[in-house]
């Protein structure tokens, strides 16, 4: 008997309809605040921003309030998440699209993603697409994830959610970022507790 995995987009559509996106926002706020703080401390001139896998748009709404953010776009494959984002922020820029098939009208300075990359069978292919088609020269990709090899409590998630995920170690993620043309790569873990090693944050700059 073949076990049919759900597509991640189907799961996120369901979460949006059941208001589980609210819990996602609450659970990830601490890590995302750290990521946004890193972004803003490195910026002393106006910048543009894309949230890849934006969900209900909460990260876009946060970064838009920063005075140097001149443009912020949210992109997500989930129709229901994008509908929620537009309800929360009618004047915001939210696009429903498969990340691998979408390109911005103009390249941006920062691409952010939270709990997104490992849902792809080949995350390197997505990162290559982002680096080549989304990021401006010297642009930054910054990503947060709780599903990684060093965090054993997350390893049951594919079975729990009945969906495919790609499990990589911290070293593996660094290698993937390097292979995709990113440099000055750094990682750190944040929001750890007794039974949780923390969210892995990894970021790098596009080579000029």
Domain boundaries, the chain: 8-206
Q: Is 111 exposed, middle or buried (0-12, 13-18, 19+ CB in 10 A)?
A: buried
24-78 pLDDT, tens digit per residue, is 889 899 999 999 999 999 999 999 999 999 999 999 999 999 999 999 999 999 9
Q: Quick one: which H or E segment has residue 64?
A: helix 58-64
Between helix 20-41 and helix 8-17 the angle, nearest 10°, is: 110
Q: Element (H or E) spanning 22, and its range?
A: helix 20-41
pLDDT tens digit sequence for 146-181: 999 999 999 999 999 999 999 999 999 999 999 999
Fold topology of 8-206: Rossmann fold (3.40.50)
């Amino acid at each position: 008997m073949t076990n049919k995995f759900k597509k991640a987009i189907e799961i996120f559509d369901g979460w949006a309809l059941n208001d589980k996106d609210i819990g996602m926002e609450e659970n990830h706020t601490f890590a995302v605040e750290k990521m946004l703080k890193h972004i803003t401390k490195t910026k002393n001139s106006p910048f543009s921003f894309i949230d890849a896998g934006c969900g209900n748009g909460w990260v876009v709404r946060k970064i838009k309030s920063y005075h140097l953010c001149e443009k912020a776009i949210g992109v997500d494959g989930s129709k229901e998440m994008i509908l929620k984002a537009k309800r929360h922020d009618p004047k915001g820029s939210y696009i429903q699209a498969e990340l691998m098939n979408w390109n911005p009208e103009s390249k941006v300075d920062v691409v952010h993603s939270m709990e997104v990359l490992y849902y792809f069978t080949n995350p390197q292919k997505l990162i290559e697409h982002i680096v080549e088609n989304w990021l401006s020269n010297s642009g930054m990709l910054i990503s947060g994830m709780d599903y990684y090899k060093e965090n054993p409590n997350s390893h049951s998630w594919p079975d729990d959610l009945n969906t495919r995920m790609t499990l990589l170690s911290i070293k593996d993620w660094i290698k993937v970022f390097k292979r995709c043309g990113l440099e000055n790569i750094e990682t750190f873990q944040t929001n750890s507790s007794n039974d949780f090693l923390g969210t892995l944050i990894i970021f790098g700059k596009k080579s000029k």
